[in-house]
Amino acid sequence: MEPAVARLLADLKDDDEVIRDRATADLWHRWFHEKGVVGLDILQHAQHLVDAEEFDVAETILSDLIADLPDFAEAWNRRATLRYMQNHYRKSLYDCRVAVRLVPYHFGALHGMGLCHAALGDFREAILAFNQALEIQPHAQINRVLMLECTARLS
């Protein structure tokens, strides 16, 4: 792991919210820019299509990007997000898993895995995924809240 990434991951655990927020933003920036301007432009174009509710076109663009750059974790994560929005939870979960395989510290994809498992009623797996996200980003309270909600659903 690059020293700069290791530092950002350490900063996610800092008590200072400003430091954590900067580290979070820097990691997202790294993930979106991993494949340079071309990859970023395609991700942004796909997001504009999602915002315009042109989901099928956005998915095709993201799928083409993944075919061209299969090691681009954020392309997988963006498609996972799109698929989650369309209630295609198993497909979204698959994409999240690939993103995490490519970038094991991708807290966004881990959070997405938790959301998918919860939507599928697999609350134990959801709790595990949210917990993994918390190990990387321990101050992300949403993951704690979702873990509690999933725990309550198990009762």
Q: What is the mean pLDDT of the chain?
A: 96
Give the CATH number of the domain where residue 32 resides.
1.25.40.10
pLDDT recorded at residue 97: 98
Mean pLDDT of 53-76: 97
Mean pLDDT of 18-30: 97
Give the domain range for residue 83. Answer: 3-154
Query: What is the rounded end-to-end Cα distance, in angstroms, of the chain?
Result: 40
What's the number of domains the chain is made of? 1
Question: CA 88 to CA 134: how far, in whole Å?
Answer: 25
Q: Which amino acid is at 86?
A: Q
Share of the chain above pLDDT 90, in %: 97
pLDDT (tens digit, 9 = 90+) per residue, 73-99?
999 999 999 999 999 999 999 999 999
Question: CA 117 to CA 20: how far, in whole Å?
Answer: 27
pLDDT (tens digit, 9 = 90+) per residue, 111-130?
999 999 999 999 999 999 99
pLDDT recorded at residue 155: 74
pLDDT (tens digit, 9 = 90+) per residue, 131-141?
999 999 999 99
